[in-house]
Structure 1
Amino acid sequence: MAQQSLNQNIFRLVVGIVLITTVVILVNVWTSTNNHAQQQLNRDLDVAESVLEEILANREEQLINSSLVLTADFGFKQAVATEDRATIDSVLQNHGERIDADLMALTSLDGINITSTPSVLPVGQPFPHQTLITNVLRDGGVSSYMQVGNELYQVILLTVDAPSPIAITLLGFRLDGELLSQLKNVTQLDTSLQASGSNSRPLFLSTLPVSEQDNITASISRQLNWREVAFGFSDAIVSRKMELASEHDLSISILLTEDINRLFNEFSTLQANIAIIAFLSVIFALIFAALLSRRLTRPLSRLSAIAGRISSGNYDYKIEHESDSREFTNLATAFRQMQESIKAREERITYQANHDAVTQLYNRHSADRILQKRLEDGASFQAIGVSILGFRNINDVFGYQNGDVCLHQISRRLSDLGGFGARLTGGELLWVPDREFGNDELEALRHSLEQPVNTGELVVNIQVSLGVMLCPQHADTAEDLFRRMNILMDTAKLQQQILAYDEELDRKYQRRLSVVTELERMLLEERYEFSLHYQPKVNLQTGKVQSLEALLRWHSSELGFIPPDEFIVLAEHAGFINQITDWVVTQAISDLALLQSKDIPLSVSVNLSAQDVTNADLLANIQQQLNQQQVAEHSFAIEITESDLLKEPEKAIRCLMEYRQHGFEIAIDDFGTGYSSLAYLKSLPVNVLKIDKSFVLNLDQQQEDQQIVSSILELAKSFDLHVVAEGIESAESLALLHNWGCEWGQGYFISKPLSFTALLEWYEVHKDTNWVE
């Protein structure tokens, strides 16, 4: 269809209006008035219905509150329980007078009337609506309507509990002509009440004159039409029926009636006024359109062309427009400003959508897109993951503002080297250099990134680990690159080094993930698959077995046997270690109590991690279980690995001191493997050193090991510490340790770790064995 100019359309529209305006206005007035009339009626009826519902709801709430007060009254419940009829009647009458209730009654649980005020319910007779009794006993209370004789009541029934139900109380307000008159005064509408039931007389109450009551049924939901609105009404009322209740064979309806003539007495005058106004408006519009159309169409056409250029993305087009109309000049200026703002905003949004706000590097989403494009184009490149070690601690200790400054500085150092950078998450960055870096260059890169950061408020020392991948050799899609880089960086952070990608890392990651998942599932289900094995310790002075070391074993139903050195580390990182330690402590103390009940004089030591020792609840848990099992504290010892102590020595020493003060023996496990043992040994609250088995396994053959062990024994003697040598594999090694004055020994020469049942059998065989003869 051919389009026409705005000027032509304006004139044709005006001509059409001139020809049909009178008819259109009149019909529109009639139709609109009809709609208005119907809407006004509906609004009046809606308001009246809402008011009615609110009044009934308020009456119901008043009944509920009054019923709760009555049923909670101790004297009333005592009177009901003792069947004190006089007190019951007095309470019901007084309470009913206070709340202006029209009906107060008490009924037995089997539905027999006990009393009522007034006496409309015959005493000793069945309650007229047994369904209500059933509902009250089931739900504890019910709100309903009921008809008694020629009276209709809104009632609340509640059980009287002492504490179990002993009777049912009823409170009610009468629905009568006085209520209908009150409703009419509030809603300004006539109100009728209609009730019927197979077991009761029909009831009809109304505020309408008797002459109009016969027409009320025909007026229900009546719709107005435009002819009646324009020329008068045949019937003067419109009614709406509202179902109030329909239950236990009783149907109650409320009818709200509106007088139509009251709303439309001045309609004729309004119709004439509107017709005159419409005619004059059309004449004025015809004149004004002729003047306005020419001034509007020309500048609008030019601005429309400009808007088309902007919408197509042409932000460089220069907008020049002159007009004698200030509005058009302002509109042209607004178009220029809009063009500039859209251009700047689009550039800013594009940048923000692609870059990280803190580092100004690309974000992960953009990096994914760019790297995928490079890989699809067949490009080869080196990807370097940079992880700031302890970045969360930097935020916690120095504040997030200083943490952001550190992250920004590290990012700028990478950006200064060129290449492509992106922030992955937290303190982890990805950098793709322009060329491949060798090992020496990677060390230099790490050194430059670890230079202290001056935030302006303080100086923060930085440590980073690097993960290095070659693409597409190690990853041929961006998704694989990010996934494997995460694995690589997690491993590099644990080792705090520069780590190149190896496929074995992926396999180990999947294994760790499987172990952690299975461990979490087992702990959540409390379906423990752990067991404790015990390795005997020999007192090398007496030659007798006098102690045991408890060693945790896990044989998973899904993964099979999992070594402790594999799952314990994962449990510590996943936050499960405390739950595992609780199980170990409980089982070890239980086994220790069983040994004592069999008169087997052995003590037990368990291995704890630094997380366990610093757990404030563990010490109290151990003491509680020892007391419950009646086991002496000196029979339960603790071993903690030397490397664990080195992580946070001050905190560990403070916590271990509490264990020593409660009489527990504490041993340093794997002693000799730490790099600063002698520096803090004198301050540790320990009384036992366990020489690491790496120095004992070949003690009878290695001169260097003999020198180390003898030196540790001399050191322990100077600090007044006992020594346990673990890893004894031969009689010759045991003899050397005995001759040097070592006090305790354990190893496969004596016994491998045994299950508790096997331990009992082993002990029966070796309880009298002297291992040093």
Structure 2
Amino acid sequence: MAAKSLNQQIFRLTGGLVLLSAIAILVNVWFSTVEHAEKQLRGNLQIAESVFKQTFSNREEQLYNSVDILTSDFGFKAAVASDDEATIESALLNHGQRVEADLMAQLSLQGTVISTTNPSLEVGGQFPYQTLIEQTNQRGGANTIMMLNDQLYQAILLVVETPRPHGITLIGFDVDNTLLERLKSITQLDVTISVEQQGNVTYSVSTLQAAIQEQALQLTTADLSWLDVLLFSDALYISKRFLYVDNGDNQIWVTLSENVTRLYGEFNRLQLKITAIAAILLILTLMFGAMFAKKLSTPLYGLSRYARRISGGDYEQVIEVDSKTTEIDALSTAFVAMQANIKERQSEIEFQATHDLLTGIYNRYKIAKILDARFKQDRQFVVVGANIHGFRGVNDIFGYQSGDRCLQAIAARFEQLDGECARLSGGEFLWLPDREINDEVLSIVQRKIEMPIIVDDVVMNIKIALGVLQCPQDCSDSESVFKRVNICLDEARVTQGLIVSYAEEFERNYVRRLAIISELKKALVTQQSELSLCYQPKLNLNTNKVDHAEALIRWNSSQLGFVPPDEFIAIAEQAGLINQVTQWVINAVIDDVVTLREHDVRLSIAINLSAKDIVDPHLLSNVTDKLKEFDLPHDCLSFEITESDIVSDPKKAVAELQRFRDAGFSLAIDDFGTGYSSLTYLKSLPVTELKIDKSFVLKLNTQRSDQQIVQTILHLAKSFNLDVVAEGVEDKASLTLLREWGCKWGQGYYICKPAPLSQLISWYTDNLATDWTT
């Protein structure tokens, strides 16, 4: 039987039963509909309140994940520990853009603003909410909604531990009309957020039109009457108001408002028609009013029950309403759609809270829950941390889109393994195998993950560093897992094979690296005598004169003592300080060249460059500007580049090195013979010299194999019209052989050990007439 409209049923019923049925319908419809509408209205407001709180809870969780990723980043913690404001500002800006945060700031533990991306806070000023600072210091973090310069923010504060508390990181999202309009689209209710101080509203943001705000914010469900709806149906709002945040002086109030016209529109029209008929057919309407009211109210009550169950989180119920009216059928269909949409949004919210949105695998929050659950089971399990070695280079070379595709491919490979996996941050992953694994299995997994990744016909060859923790021996909770995985991966990145298992000494090494980074930063930016240069002369075997020398940096730290160059140079490269170290060396060498020339000592000083120095676009201009400042020729300096730095990115290296050659500088390949592919690029490199590694020269006079290697390099250099420097000359016999074979320069302890500038000048003067081979 076809469903009939509500109006058709009213006309058929009241037209045949006259006055008595009209009165019965009027009374029953009035009371039943008003009661149902009020319950539905309250239900809508309650659902809207739940959705509002859930939305802000999800934003709070998103803020926590964002600030947790930032404060867990090694580089950021190092910057905070060393009070490196420039690095902190850069990290805040980059991370804020990545997570689309509207407020990013770094505060001291006392609340002083160190760095910020938002003009609402002033660097050097005091954070206005000291109660939050105290709460953050006590609990390690805090969340709130607060006002800053007439703008409302939802914010998270988290203490940065390096490993001791060293500052507070603040991240926040705007609470503005865009957010409220999104909430309105979900709840179909208008939202007003107001800030009150001592009972006075100081700030308000609302989706309501200004003309109706006062009425909408004052009328609550307790004040509602059907007469109001009837007389003011064009602009009648019912509101529910609750306190969301109490910051002491500031209180954040939320008001949810519904335009009851949508609920009472059909009811009002029905009331008017029934009232008109009731005036004529009162007696007949009374006889049939009860039956009609029941027929109308029963499905509405049923829908009301469904609404309450939906508001309680039951999204699996089957909504069935026995009705033959199109309006109630439409309302029932709307309930079904609402239930499905809320369920879908809930699932999406839960997925986003527990999964990495780029790769689809678990995120840090979810894997932490899994780890804590395993610790509670008190059983043995293995945690494997993985890091893409040099992932920043992947983004720089191939672009961020290809970098994202790379992360997705690696995540898919981890998903194919047994167990659980998660992406922690950047190129860092965590894998929890379901079974015990040994070194052989780890090597197989490493090779599988490192298989080439092809993106748009571009082949990306990657290396994966693996750090292994045995739990619960090595860790006791998820936080210690994350910390020690980072420490493990730091060791793995500098270990042959890129696989290590956690050892207690790693933590000591990690602390020492942090200390070296901190002290090195201080040494580079302060006037001090910790950093110094030594020079080792190079003897020209053709003229028997010293005309070149190599600059070697030394560091005697007041806190750490003597730190070997091999140790702090490697750490400086990892921490992004190598460019500052190189610039310090260049400035110091040029100052020393001026001193040498004042003592009539004419030497060309060789300076070592790293891979990051080569690609620094400002290095060459800085060198030439410094030489021009002292009116020095370019041939007073030369540069040495290690073979491995060249082959890591030969095309870019060739382009950058050519700029140095075009500027008139000599270039040498340092440690030649220790690499694996130099011959491939040697013919295209704009170098002037090869420097034979000392491992082939130290026992040159006694080792036949070393003699063959050195002679081969000399013949190769001659074919390419390159000069050769042999370092590691320890005796006269080796020096004589090199001279006979045509090597141009010799360098080593037999000639002179590395010496400070004053000693070099004295040594040079004393050995002007020395014949080194007799």
Give, in angstroms, the shift of residue 404 of structure 1: 4.0
Give, in angstroms, the shift of residue 419 of structure 1: 1.4
Aligned mates of 1:520, 1:568 — CA distance in 2: 12
1:540, 1:772 within 8 Å by CA — same for their partners in 2? no
Quote the RMSD (CA, aligned, Å): 3.8
Aligned mates of 1:617, 1:317 — CA distance in 2: 67
Q: What does residue 484 of structure 1 align with?
A: 484
Give, in angstroms, the shift of residue 336 of structure 1: 4.0
1:638, 1:667 within 8 Å by CA — same for their partners in 2? yes
Name the amino acid aligned to 1:442: L
Q: What does residue 726 of structure 2 align with?
A: 725
2:538, 2:745 within 8 Å by CA — same for their partners in 1? yes
Q: What does residue 574 of structure 1 align with?
A: 575
Residue 557, structure 1, aligned to residue 558, structure 2:
yes
Q: What does residue 466 of structure 2 align with?
A: 467
Give, in angstroms, the shift of residue 562 of structure 1: 1.9
Aligned mates of 2:607, 2:398 — CA distance in 1: 38
Spell out, residue by residue over 1:333-390, the C-alpha distance to the aligned partner (whole angstroms, 9 max, x if none): 5444434433333333222321222322111100011111102211322223333455
Residue 611, structure 1, aligned to residue 615, structure 2:
no
1:387, 1:466 within 8 Å by CA — same for their partners in 2? yes
Q: What does residue 422 of structure 1 align with?
A: 422
Aligned mates of 1:454, 1:587 — CA distance in 2: 46
2:452, 2:462 within 8 Å by CA — same for their partners in 1? no
Spell out, residue by residue over 1:127-156, the C-alpha distance to the aligned partner (whole angstroms, 9 max, x if none): xxxxxxxxxxxxxxxxxxxxxxxxxxxxxx
Q: Look up the SS of the partner of 1:418 in the other structure.
A: coil
- TM-score, normalised to structure 2's length? 0.57
Using a 3 Å threshold, how does the CA distance of structure 1 residues 378 and 524 change in structure 2: closer, same or farther? Answer: same
Name the amino acid aligned to 1:558: Q
Spell out, residue by residue over 1:64-85, the C-alpha distance to the aligned partner (whole angstroms, 9 max, x if none): xxxxxxxxxxxxxxxxxxxxxx
Q: What does residue 350 of structure 1 align with?
A: 350
Q: What does residue 631 of structure 1 align with?
A: 632
Q: Following superposition of structure 1 onto structure 2, how do residues 257-296 of structure 1 map, counting pairs within 5 Å?
A: none
Residue 765, structure 1, aligned to residue 766, structure 2:
yes
Name the amino acid aligned to 1:758: Q
Give, in angstroms, the shift of residue 697 of structure 1: 1.9
Q: What does residue 745 of structure 1 align with?
A: 746
Aligned mates of 1:401, 1:710 — CA distance in 2: 48
Higher relative contact order (CA 8 A, sep 6+): 2
Name the amino acid aligned to 2:422: A
Give, in angstroms, the shift of residue 294 of structure 1: 6.8
1:386, 1:464 within 8 Å by CA — same for their partners in 2? no
1:613, 1:652 within 8 Å by CA — same for their partners in 2? yes
1:488, 1:499 within 8 Å by CA — same for their partners in 2? no
Q: What does residue 361 of structure 2 align with?
A: 361
Q: What does residue 338 of structure 1 align with?
A: 338
1:550, 1:606 within 8 Å by CA — same for their partners in 2? yes
Q: Following superposition of structure 1 onto structure 2, how do residues 315-334 of structure 1 map, counting pairs within 5 Å?
A: 315-322=315-322, 330-334=330-334
Aligned mates of 2:494, 2:308 — CA distance in 1: 59
Q: What does residue 445 of structure 2 align with?
A: 445
Using a 3 Å threshold, how does the CA distance of structure 1 residues 317 and 659 change in structure 2: closer, same or farther? Answer: closer
Identical aligned residues as a percent: 47
Give, in angstroms, the shift of residue 715 of structure 1: 2.9
Higher-Rg structure is: 1
Name the amino acid aligned to 1:531: S
Q: What does residue 601 of structure 2 align with?
A: 600
Q: Look up the SS of the partner of 1:631 in the other structure.
A: coil
Q: What does residue 736 of structure 2 align with?
A: 735
Q: Look up the SS of the partner of 1:698 in the other structure.
A: coil
Q: What does residue 379 of structure 1 align with?
A: 379
Spell out, residue by residue over 1:231-252, the C-alpha distance to the aligned partner (whole angstroms, 9 max, x if none): xxxxxxxxxxxxxxxxxxxxxx
Aligned mates of 1:299, 1:610 — CA distance in 2: 76
Aligned mates of 1:601, 1:407 — CA distance in 2: 54
Give, in angstroms, the shift of residue 525 of structure 1: 4.5
Spell out, residue by residue over 1:290-324, the C-alpha distance to the aligned partner (whole angstroms, 9 max, x if none): 98997698666555544444344444444433358
Aligned mates of 1:583, 1:453 — CA distance in 2: 39
Aligned mates of 2:524, 2:324 — CA distance in 1: 82
Aligned mates of 1:409, 1:616 — CA distance in 2: 33
Q: What does residue 42 of structure 1 align with?
A: none
Give the count of matched residue pairs: 498
Spell out, residue by residue over 1:399-458, the C-alpha distance to the aligned partner (whole angstroms, 9 max, x if none): 655544443333333323331111122333222222223333333333333444466x54
Spell out, residue by residue over 1:651-709, the C-alpha distance to the aligned partner (whole angstroms, 9 max, x if none): 33333334334433322221211212333333333332222111222223333222222
Aligned mates of 2:348, 2:657 — CA distance in 1: 57
Q: What does residue 699 of structure 2 align with?
A: 698
2:487, 2:507 within 8 Å by CA — same for their partners in 1? yes
Give, in angstroms, the shift of residue 591 of structure 1: 1.6
Q: What does residue 590 of structure 1 align with?
A: 591
| Larger CA deviation: 290-299 vs 508-517 | 290-299
Q: What does residue 410 of structure 1 align with?
A: 410
Using a 3 Å threshold, how does the CA distance of structure 1 residues 536 and 316 change in structure 2: closer, same or farther? Answer: closer
Q: What does residue 18 of structure 1 align with?
A: none
Aligned mates of 1:549, 1:423 — CA distance in 2: 45
Aligned mates of 1:704, 1:629 — CA distance in 2: 47
Q: Following superposition of structure 1 onto structure 2, how do residues 236-247 of structure 1 map, counting pairs within 5 Å?
A: none
- TM-score, normalised to structure 1's length? 0.57
Name the amino acid aligned to 1:423: R
Q: Look up the SS of the partner of 2:618 in the other structure.
A: helix
Q: Look up the SS of the partner of 2:362 in the other structure.
A: coil
2:601, 2:761 within 8 Å by CA — same for their partners in 1? no
Aligned mates of 2:580, 2:728 — CA distance in 1: 29
Name the amino acid aligned to 1:432: L
Spell out, residue by residue over 1:448-503, the C-alpha distance to the aligned partner (whole angstroms, 9 max, x if none): 33444466x54644424141413223323211212222233344455684402232
Q: Which runs of 5+ in 2 are unaligned?
A: 1-26, 35-274
Q: What does residue 531 of structure 1 align with?
A: 532
Give, in angstroms, the shift of residue 644 of structure 1: 1.8
| Larger CA deviation: 391-400 vs 543-552 | 391-400
2:524, 2:584 within 8 Å by CA — same for their partners in 1? no
Name the amino acid aligned to 2:346: E
Give, in angstroms, the shift of residue 738 of structure 1: 3.4
Using a 3 Å threshold, how does the CA distance of structure 1 residues 635 and 317 change in structure 2: closer, same or farther? Answer: closer
2:606, 2:639 within 8 Å by CA — same for their partners in 1? yes
1:539, 1:745 within 8 Å by CA — same for their partners in 2? yes
Give, in angstroms, the shift of residue 728 of structure 1: 2.0
Q: Look up the SS of the partner of 1:754 in the other structure.
A: coil
Give, in angstroms, the shift of residue 391 of structure 1: 4.6
Give, in angstroms, the shift of residue 533 of structure 1: 0.9
Spell out, residue by residue over 1:231-280, the C-alpha distance to the aligned partner (whole angstroms, 9 max, x if none): xxxxxxxxxxxxxxxxxxxxxxxxxxxxxxxxxxxxxxxxxxxxxxxxx9
Q: What does residue 681 of structure 1 align with?
A: 682
Aligned mates of 1:663, 1:412 — CA distance in 2: 50
Name the amino acid aligned to 2:440: D
Using a 3 Å threshold, how does the CA distance of structure 1 residues 643 and 412 change in structure 2: closer, same or farther? Answer: closer
Q: What does residue 125 of structure 1 align with?
A: none
Q: What does residue 240 of structure 2 align with?
A: none
Using a 3 Å threshold, how does the CA distance of structure 1 residues 473 and 594 change in structure 2: closer, same or farther? Answer: same
Aligned mates of 1:399, 1:741 — CA distance in 2: 47
Aligned mates of 2:613, 2:398 — CA distance in 1: 27
Give, in angstroms, the shift of residue 606 of structure 1: 1.9
Name the amino acid aligned to 1:429: F
Aligned mates of 1:520, 1:459 — CA distance in 2: 38
2:388, 2:465 within 8 Å by CA — same for their partners in 1? no
